Amino acid sequence: MPEGDTLLCHAAPVLQEVYAGSQDGTVCWTGFTFDFNGFGEEFGLEIEVIKASSVGPHCDFDTPFVGIKGTLNGESFDLFLHLAPIPGSPPLETYDTVTKQVRPIEVEQQK
């Protein structure tokens, strides 16, 4: 990374397509938990600022998020933890209502 650049990371829940049952074919999104402390400890992130942002009609982002600004291995680092899927993203998982299992959608199916 060139000196002075900021490493930018976005994390968000993914969309799932429901398989079988009365909601077959419905697209929904997963719940998720993000451990800020664990992430920081595992990757050596030194946190400087944590902020949260909602979304309005003239916002820069399409989803509400929690943002972290800090340094990662001595480099500037920004993490945007989106609280909803990023608009326009395709489903990445299938939720099978028969087996109660989640499995990835094969990349070839998305094309």
Is the model's pLDDT at 59 over the cut of 50? yes
1 in a structural domain = no
Give the range of the structural domain holding residue 55, as residue numbers without chain letter: 9-110
Hey, what are 34's tokens? 């993000």
106 in a structural domain = yes
pTM higher than 0.85: no
Number of structural domains (the chain) is 1
Q: Please give, one letter per residue, the 3-state secondary structure of 22-61.
A: CCCCCEEECCCCCCHHHHHHHHCEEEEEEEEECCCCCCCC
50 in a structural domain = yes
The predicted-structure confidence for 23-52, as pLDDT tens digits, reads as follows 999 999 888 888 888 888 888 888 899 898
64 in a structural domain = yes
